[in-house]
Amino acid sequence: MKKIIWHIGFRKTGTTSVQYLLAHLPAQAHPDLFVSSRDQLTRTWRDRIVKATRRRTRPNLADLRADMANVAATLRKTPQQTILISDENLFAFSLFARNGGHFFQWAAEILPLIEAEFADFENVFVAYSRPWASWLKSCYSQEVKRGRTARSYEDWRKRVPADCNWTDGLATIRTAIRSPLVLLTHDSDAEAGMPLGTQLLELAGVSRAAVIEIGPVPRLNESLTPAMMRLFRLFNLFGLNTVVRRVVHPRMRARELARQRAPQAALGEGHRLS
């Protein structure tokens, strides 16, 4: 039975840095591992989640399962027995919604569907966590950057649902799924003197020596500085959030992705999808 390690984020826990490692892992050195790092394999699925969030709705589950079925069909044809998929937008795009729904509830809704569509695979869900207070501030910064709020952090924080927290949230997810949920801490790799994402790669059979050969990981997708935060909040307050969402943030993201993937061509695409 093939094994899929689903790196599902969580959002704002260093996922972009993890994906840098995955994008720079030499395919030819790991022929038994299939890697998909937020690429074309999951793009339609990811886009459906993102578009629904922007419309302030939940995605159509029948359409979402069709997207999952297409991914499963592709993976059944791959020769590799171990598959590592990293995409932080497979079930959510924001921390919470106006209707009270939130990140952990959406995970409990979507992850069982993954188990159903990929029932002939061994599924393992993996996520990184970080201290709650700093995680919330990073999530808030991302919402401002995307043009989704002009509120102060204090006002935004009051709107976070009471049961949207690590203890209740993780319990909600674990109650909903049968597969393991492996939780890695945001600082555990750094404490071992390794780049963020090392433990994830080890779960997929990649040695620490191979990670070290990739070299240092640049700082990616950082939170806004206080000055930029004030500027973006003003944009959002005066109705210019469309400019932020459609022009500024995509350009920032494009620069980050260019930094992330530039050397990949030299490594060769191997068994990755692009």
Q: Is residue 226 part of a domain?
A: yes
Best mean pLDDT range from 45-59, 142-156, 170-184: 170-184
DSSP state of 96: B
Q: What is the mean pLDDT of the chain?
A: 89
Q: Is residue 274 part of a domain?
A: no
Q: Is residue 272 part of a domain?
A: no
Query: Which structural domain range is residue 209 located in?
Result: 3-267
Q: Is residue 15 part of a domain?
A: yes
Beta bridge partners of 83: 4, 34
Cα 16 vs. chain centroid, distance in angstroms? 8
Determine the length of the chain.
274
Residue 274: per-residue pLDDT: 37
Q: Is residue 209 part of a domain?
A: yes
Q: What CATH number did the domain enclosing 191 receive?
A: 3.40.50
Query: CB of 27 within 8 A of CB of 267?
Result: yes
Distance, in Å, from the CA atom of 22 to the CA atom of 35, rounded to the nearest integer, reads: 7
Find the DSSP H helices in the chain. 15-23, 43-54, 61-76, 103-117, 132-145, 153-158, 166-176, 188-191, 198-203, 208-214, 226-237, 241-243, 249-261, 264-267
Residue 264: per-residue pLDDT: 45
Domain count, the chain: 1
Q: Is residue 273 part of a domain?
A: no
Residue 99: per-residue pLDDT: 78
Whether the model clears a pTM of 0.85, i.e. scores above it, the answer is: yes
